[in-house]
Amino acid sequence: MEIIETIKEQIASNTVLLYMKGAPNAPQCGFSARAAQALMGCGEKFAYVDILQNPEIRTNLPKYANWPTFPQLWVGGELVGGSDIISEMYEKGELQTLIKDAVEKAGA
């Protein structure tokens, strides 16, 4: 059960957290690349966890989140969704607002 505690801690201690394959500057799949690009386009700092380097997280996070795929974006402790949702929200301008508001709230 330790890995679930690690996941909870990561989500709690990072306002904007992307679980992805690879790193934002070196993504290992197209979906992770799209998600990271959208996040970088929001202009706020974000944390990431490379699930390829963390097989326990890769195995257990889908069960914890009840979300089967990666990437997964968490903002303010809440699961936002995966690549399609992230891209759609970014195109509508909703992702920028969500992240900006969460970062401001966390800093308050």
Binding residues for glutathione: 21, 58, 70, 83-84
Task: Tell the residue number behind the tokens 């679980």, with chain if given.
Answer: 19
The SS3 call for residue 79 is strand
Q: For residue 54, with 0-12 CB atoms within 10 Å meaning exposed, 13-18 middle and 19 or more buried, which class applies?
A: middle
Known binding residues: 21, 29, 58, 70, 83-84
Known binding residues for [2Fe-2S] cluster: 29
